[in-house]
């Protein structure tokens, strides 16, 4: 996977302000629906919440990868977000989250979803990238840091 295939400058949001995991998932759903009109924010929100019920998508070191599958999705779509203030995400290490890579995938292609998810987990395991992403000033800067990683 090449990051440019699933991430665009309009899908990068720097220093958004949310106070909770629920509010983050709601905000992500709105961002996703605004980016592509085929997505309904309520459907995406429900799918993200349902996935979180299976277990947290908060990894460690302040990173989370909320993801879901929705019928309207035709290709894996990614959204990179940094938060103004870290929030509790139930991560295994107990640290709050401030770097999020959300994925929306087609409900019919488990292999593509799983492969992309594994690559994003590997990508977010790069401490240098995480450091640089947290230092960005705006959405375009965040996108450029991601693409150069």
The partner residues of 82 in beta bridges, in order of sequence, read 99
Q: CATH second-level architecture of 10-148?
A: 3-Layer(aba) Sandwich (3.40)
**117 has a pLDDT exceeding 80:** yes
**66 has a pLDDT exceeding 90:** yes
When pLDDT is averaged across residues 11-28 and rounded to a whole number, the result is 97
**1 has a pLDDT exceeding 80:** no
- Which residues lie below 8 Å from residue 107, measured CB to CB, with a gap of 6+? 69, 70, 71, 73
The partner residues of 88 in beta bridges, in order of sequence, read none
| Cα-based distances in Å from 107 to 29, 37, 73, 113 | 17, 18, 7, 9
The answer to whether 102 and 81 have CB atoms below 8 angstroms apart is yes
When pLDDT is averaged across residues 2-13 and rounded to a whole number, the result is 91
**Residues annotated catalytic, as ranges:** 67
pLDDT for position 114: 84
**139 has a pLDDT exceeding 70:** yes
Q: For the chain, which residues make up each domain, given as ranges?
A: 10-148
Q: Which residue has the tokens 């959300």?
A: 102
pLDDT for position 10: 94
């Amino acid at each position: 996977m090449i990051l440019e295939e699933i991430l665009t400058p309009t899908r990068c949001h720097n220093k958004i302000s949310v106070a909770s995991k629920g509010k983050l998932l709601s905000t992500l759903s709105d961002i996703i629906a605004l980016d592509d009109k085929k997505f309904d924010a309520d459907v995406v929100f429900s799918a993200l919440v349902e996935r979180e019920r299976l277990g947290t998508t908060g990894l460690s070191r302040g990173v989370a990868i909320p993801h879901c599958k929705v019928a309207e999705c035709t290709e894996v779509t990614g959204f990179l977000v940094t938060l103004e203030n870290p929030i509790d995400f139930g991560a295994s290490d107990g640290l709050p989250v401030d770097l999020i890579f959300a994925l929306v995938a087609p409900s019919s292609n488990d292999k593509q979803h799983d492969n992309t998810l594994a690559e994003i987990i590997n990508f977010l395991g790069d401490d240098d990238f995480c450091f640089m992403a947290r230092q960005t000033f705006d959405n375009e800067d965040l996108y450029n840091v991601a693409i150069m990683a």
